[in-house]
A = this chain, B = another copy of it.
Amino acid sequence: MAFSVAVAGASGYAGGELLRLLAEHPEFEIRTVTGHSSAGRPLIESQPHLRSLAGLTLQETTPEVLDGHDIVFFALPHGASGELTAQLRNVRLAVDCGADHRLRDAADWEAFYGGEHHEAWSYGVPELLVRAADGGVTRQREALVGADRIAAPGCNASTVALSLAPGIAAGVIEPGDLVSVLAVGPSGAGKAAKTHLLGAELMGTANPYAVGGTHRHIPEIIQSLRAAGAAAAPTLSFTPVLVPMSRGILATTTARIVPGTPAARVREAWESAYADEPFVHVLPEGVFPRTADTIGANTCLMGLAIDEAAGRVVIVAALDNLAKGTAGAAIQSANIALGLPETTGLSVNGVAP
């Protein structure tokens, strides 16, 4: 028997990707979709690529409309879900793709988002290494089993956290002096019309933004690295660059190798961390990922190089910001929470070229 599902914020990019994946999911049944300015209109007007859902109509985004579904996915602007989710009485599982329930520290929320801080929910990156109180290493997956509230990750945040956690947990890289530069597509910025996101502004050019430590995903990454057992406070220089592709994140992240660590041991930290993961793949030596290989898939591909002259390891990670970066992570986490096989309804194969 399928779980009944509602998607709040179904007219945007994250909502569209949730629906695309949910439509193929054998255990979930999309029952309700809601919008804001497009409420009352057919979904197909906002999401003309979702032909199989042409019969759905967008409803208002209210607690009354959403309550009573087995699962509700939220794909709302940051700050919009916190109050709304608090009013749900009868929802077995709520998954928030916005930022409202990601940060544990109210000061971080205040500094990077502002407004009221909401409690952190179980963080939806199952593959993240977590250092347990007893010193052992577990995975974030364990915190998701049986969860009823899940915070899907920021797309850039999960890409960088997955890139660094193995080295942090294994103690082979230093938590200070981390640097990450990301090539990102503009779909992550959403569908609201803004001049700097116009096609004419983005095609044929690379445009940096949030330079110098102001991006909202930074505290989220630091939080994950702390959970992975960073011995000291991590410091991260983080710069995203918009490039002319609709989807995709390619994060190039480097960290100083702890002096004296053999190259093989560095590589081993990543390979062993993800050896059994269905959706995070470490590529063979000398091979690096392209975002194209992950489009539409729930896959994060990772390549590793050790630069002995620079004393740093370089981790290049690629994923689809809307799929594994947002909607795929949400569904994968929901599968775990509900006791379904984790890979249900999710593909590892990208659409390329």
Given known A-B contacts A16-B352, A24-B347, A202-B203, A310 and B236 have beta carbons under 8 A apart: yes
Q: Which residue of B lies closest to A299 (CB)?
A: B51
Is A114 at the interface (CB under 8 A from chain B)? no
Q: A246 to B208, Cβ gap below 8 A? A: no
Asked whether B237 lies within 8 Å of A288 as measured between CB atoms, the reply is: no
Report the separation of the CA atoms of residues A266 and B53 in the bound assembly, to the nearest whole angstrom.
28
Please pick, from B13, B203, B349, the residue contacting A52 in the complex, using a CB distance under 8 A: B349
A56 on the interface (CB 8 Å rule)?
no
Q: How many copies does the complex hold?
A: 4
Q: Given the known inter-chain contacts A237-B312, A310-B237, please indicate yes or no for A212 contacting B52, CB distance below 8 A.
A: no
| Contact (Cβ within 8 A) B349 A246 | no
Question: Shortest beta-carbon distance, A347 to chain B, in Å?
Answer: 7
Chain B CB within 8 A of A250 CB? yes
CB < 8 Å neighbour of A212 from B208, B301, B307 = B307
Whether A308 sits at the interface, judged by CB under 8 Å, is yes
Residue of B192, B211, B213, B351 near A49 (CB, 8 A) is: B351
Query: Among residues 48 to 78 in chain A, which have CB atoms less than 8 Å away from a CB atom of chain B?
Result: 48-53
Give the complex CA separation of A207 and B246 in angstroms.
15
Residue A326 is within 8 A (CB to CB) of chain B in the complex = no
A191 contacts which of B200, B242, B312 (Cβ < 8 Å)? B200
**A36 contacts the other chain (Cβ, under 8 Å)?**
no
* Interface flag for A151 (CB, 8 Å): no
A: which residues have CB within 8 A of B? 13, 16, 20, 23-24, 47-53, 177, 179, 181, 183, 185-187, 189, 191-195, 197-209, 211-213, 235-237, 239, 241-248, 250, 252, 254, 256, 281, 287-297, 299, 301, 303, 305-312, 314, 316, 318, 347-353
